[in-house]
Amino acid sequence: MIAREGYTIIALVMGLALALTVGSLWVDSWLVRGPMLALAAGGLAFTLYFFRDPERTPPPDALEAGIVAPADGRVVEVADEEEPLYLDGPARRISIFLSPLDVHVNRVPARGVIEHAEYRPGDYLVAWHPKASEKNERSEFGLQHPSGTMLLFKQIAGAVARRIEYDLQEGDTVETGQRFGIVKFGSRMDLLVPPSVELRVEEGQTVRAGTTVLGRIPTTDADPSQVPKAPSASTDASARRSSTP
């Protein structure tokens, strides 16, 4: 499957690939024709590969109180910090770096209600820079689990990624592993959780969005009836958000 956010770019790359292919027919020398054809085929293949959107199913035991990875990639940092935006207190931050070869479709880490959704313009530091989380272009989402536990997750653009897209808004009811957006061409995802969450992740670990369990939410006082089931998909184009027109 191909991510819908990539349709326009794929169409442009296909047009360029076609132009290079046709142009190569007018070149007699294979020393020139060969690289032109290789560039056309390679560019199209990489673009299709980048925008792949595989099906992901969270583990059954993570659907109710589990926290799954919101992005594919490598965990570059697990750190303690103060979080004043949504959790308003001490938190543990998990930072996931996505290389251009990773699947870039992002997924909701846990079920609940989106209480905060905001896009913030910013800089384009390399995604692994310590200040990228607070200085780079990003979108921020605060989610409350039915137990009352609050999570904050952020799509963060990197030095190459210059476009963030998402289809979440305040008031949305979401499910664990639900697809919600993409950051194009290299990025970072931060997940912040309160100290009460039992983490099962460490630095250097490779994770997969929607399937790798990062931790569990304490549910002693949880009431599953507080949050209704979300729709099977949240793909209404009218609700989609983007950092550029």
Question: What is the set of active-site residues?
Answer: 187
Burial class (CB in 10 A: 0-12, 13-18, 19+), 14: middle
CA distance 79 to 134: 15
Cα 166 from Cα 181, distance rounded (Å):
4
| Angstrom distances, CA of residue 25 to CA of 22, 62, 239 | 5, 55, 45
Q: How far apart are CA 33 and CA 37, in angstroms?
A: 6
Residues 6+ apart with CB under 8 A from 213: 59, 62, 66, 67, 68, 200
* E strands in 131-209: 138-144, 150-157, 164-166, 173-174, 179-183, 187-193, 198-199, 206-207
What's the number of CA atoms in the CB half-sphere (13 Å) around residue 244? 10
**Type of residue at 90:** P
